[in-house]
């Protein structure tokens, strides 16, 4: 399928490109950068939520699934974006958030109006709460004063969970998907899809030895696979080339892969790679070998180190070191798997750091700040909040030097931005020329040097501070990097913090 060797580019809309000077990225801003994305080599764009929303969770609290928030533009402008992208042979996938709606959504407003409402059962209600905790902190239950019952929200109290045991909910979701398919979107990224069902006995979750709640009964519950399989099969009936990717809130590879096996998603995000908190080469080797096992089962992993939910890899993994940063780029792009880049990654964009509580936009960080403020100073609470602050990757892209800060601050521009952009263009071009990569093998880690082979390419990533001499089993020529082949062709010498990509002579 088209997506197997594609390079995807995630656009966090409010922070990408502002076309009208109001400080908020918009659809016209994206349109103005399509030629740039084409020049980079991007095959598909993933748009984060653009729907009308109160923005409690920056758009993941949707109040209308079939419209565009006016601050981003109009439905007509989005249709033109899709058309223009297709003319450039760039596909468009969109975020869909079907675990929950905003409490401002007409569905919830009607459901909350009366216990006798026809949409009452579209959401989850109880006379008394159990001990389930929200993933944003605090109880997952909020009391509704009008009907005197509690409604369930696995995230913010303004994000009420839909009841997927109700067939009318499923049908309403299919109508939403049909709407966007008819407008020409090429795929869907399903947000927190493993939260979709809960234990209908509402048993209390256990508490671990560390005092934290174990989410045993509110994620990955019985019946979810059948529901999602039905959903995916329906989508493929409409168009077999539509791409579906699942976001699973887990780093358990077998659990993640079960959503492609049983629920029939094309792939799922592998956060055990993407959420690495620091450079751990043994873990990177382990994950690469797990991806090798996936290839034997015809499963294809997702390759990424950046997204809108985590600190940028320039800071988190490369420690502001250009030489190291390029090694991560090679791993993501010259490897077996679907490559996902996050806006600004190709320029080496750095983290935006909130300097005060007023600078924080992320609800998760706001809640953390308030929690920490009960036991520490404002300065210490801000430090703790910034550790979990998803705003770090959401700073405005610095397209020019005189750009004013927008809805959020500007992500610092990398002094090596031009060199990094050239690097990404070269690697994406190499991927297109040598891919698709169907296999991965010969995975080795020697000291700080990770090497692997995909098809007839041999990749050496030297993360260490010393040069390495790497033996070669067959005669190769240099495709990319700084390695030096010996005169007899039996080994290659790779400098510190450098890479080498060689190609077998067939």
Show which residues are catalytic: 191, 247
How far is Cα 506 from Cα 487, in angstroms, rounded to an integer?
Answer: 19
Cβ neighbours of residue 455 closer than 8 Å, sequence gap 6 or more: 434, 435, 437, 438, 439
How far is Cα 478 from Cα 470, in angstroms, rounded to an integer?
Answer: 14
Contact 335, 303 (CB under 8 A): yes
Cα separations in angstroms, 284 against 35, 86, 272, 296, 450: 34, 36, 9, 19, 9
Cβ neighbours of residue 167 closer than 8 Å, sequence gap 6 or more: none
DSSP labels for 400-453?
STTPPP-SSPBPPPPTTHHHHHHHHHHHHHHHHHH------EEEEEETTEEEEE
Which tokens hold the place of 403? 């750009």
Query: Which residues partner with 96 through β-bridges?
Result: 190
CA nearest to 94, candidates 194, 159, 156, 184? 184
Q: Residue holding tokens 């913010």?
A: 156
Residue 67 preceded by cis peptide, ω within 30: no
Contact 246, 269 (CB under 8 A): yes
Q: Which long-range contacts (CB under 8 A, 24 or more apart) does 327-332 make?
A: 327/461, 327/462, 327/463, 327/497, 327/498, 327/499, 329/420, 329/423, 329/424, 329/427, 330/427, 330/459, 330/461, 330/480, 330/481, 330/499, 330/501, 331/284, 331/303, 331/459, 331/461, 332/303, 332/304, 332/305
């Amino acid at each position: 399928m088209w997506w197997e060797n594609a390079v995807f580019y995630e656009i966090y809309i409010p922070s990408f490109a502002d076309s009208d000077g109001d400080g908020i990225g918009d659809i016209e801003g994206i349109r103005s950068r399509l030629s740039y994305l084409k020049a980079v080599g991007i095959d598909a764009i993933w748009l984060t939520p653009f729907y009308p929303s109160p923005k409690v969770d920056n758009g993941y609290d949707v109040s209308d699934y079939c419209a565009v928030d006016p601050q981003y533009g109009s439905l007509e402008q989005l249709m033109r974006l899709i058309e223009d992208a297709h003319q450039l042979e760039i596909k468009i996938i969109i975020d869909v958030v079907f675990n929950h709606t905003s409490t401002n959504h007409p569905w919830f407003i009607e459901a909350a109006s009366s216990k006798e409402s026809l949409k009452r059962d579209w959401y989850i209600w109880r006379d008394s709460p159990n001990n389930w905790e929200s993933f944003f902190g605090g109880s997952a239950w909020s009391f509704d004063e009008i009907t005197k019952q509690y409604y369930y929200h696995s995230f913010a109290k303004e994000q009420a969970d839909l009841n997927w045991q109700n067939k009318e909910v499923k049908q309403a979701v299919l109508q939403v998907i049909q709407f966007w398919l008819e407008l020409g979107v090429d795929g869907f990224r399903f947000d927190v899809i493993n939260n979709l069902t809960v234990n209908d006995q509402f048993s209390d979750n256990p508490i671990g030895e560390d005092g934290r709640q174990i989410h045993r009964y509110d994620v990955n519950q019985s019946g979810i696979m059948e529901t999602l399989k039905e959903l995916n099969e329906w989508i493929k009936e409409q168009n077999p080339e539509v791409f579906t990717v699942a976001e699973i809130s887990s780093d358990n590879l077998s659990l993640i892969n079960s959503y492609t096996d049983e629920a029939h998603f094309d792939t799922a995000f592998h956060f055990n790679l993407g959420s690495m908190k620091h450079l751990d080469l043994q873990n990177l080797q382990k994950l690469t070998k797990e991806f090798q096992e996936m290839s034997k089962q015809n499963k294809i992993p997702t390759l990424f180190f950046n997204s809108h939910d985590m600190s940028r890899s320039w800071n988190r993994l490369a420690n502001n070191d250009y030489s190291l940063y390029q090694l991560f780029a090679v791993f993501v792009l010259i490897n077996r798997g679907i490559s996902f880049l996050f806006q600004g990654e190709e320029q080496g964009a750095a983290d935006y750091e909130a300097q005060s509580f007023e600078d924080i936009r992320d609800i998760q960080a706001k809640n953390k700040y308030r929690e920490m403020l009960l036991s520490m100073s404002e300065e210490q609470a801000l430090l703790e909040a910034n550790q979990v602050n998803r705003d770090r990757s959401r700073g405005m892209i610095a397209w020019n030097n005189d750009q004013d800060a927008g809805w959020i601050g500007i992500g610092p521009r990398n002094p090596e931005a031009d060199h990094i952009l050239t690097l990404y263009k070269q690697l994406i071009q190499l991927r297109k020329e040598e891919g698709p990569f169907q296999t991965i093998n010969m995975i080795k880690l020697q000291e700080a040097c990770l090497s692997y082979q995909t098809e007839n390419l041999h990749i050496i990533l030297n993360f260490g501070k010393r040069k390495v001499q790497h033996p070669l089993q067959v005669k190769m020529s240099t495709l990319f990097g700084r390695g030096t082949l010996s005169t007899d062709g039996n080994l290659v010498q790779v400098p510190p913090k450098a890479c080498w990509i060689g190609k077998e002579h067939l």
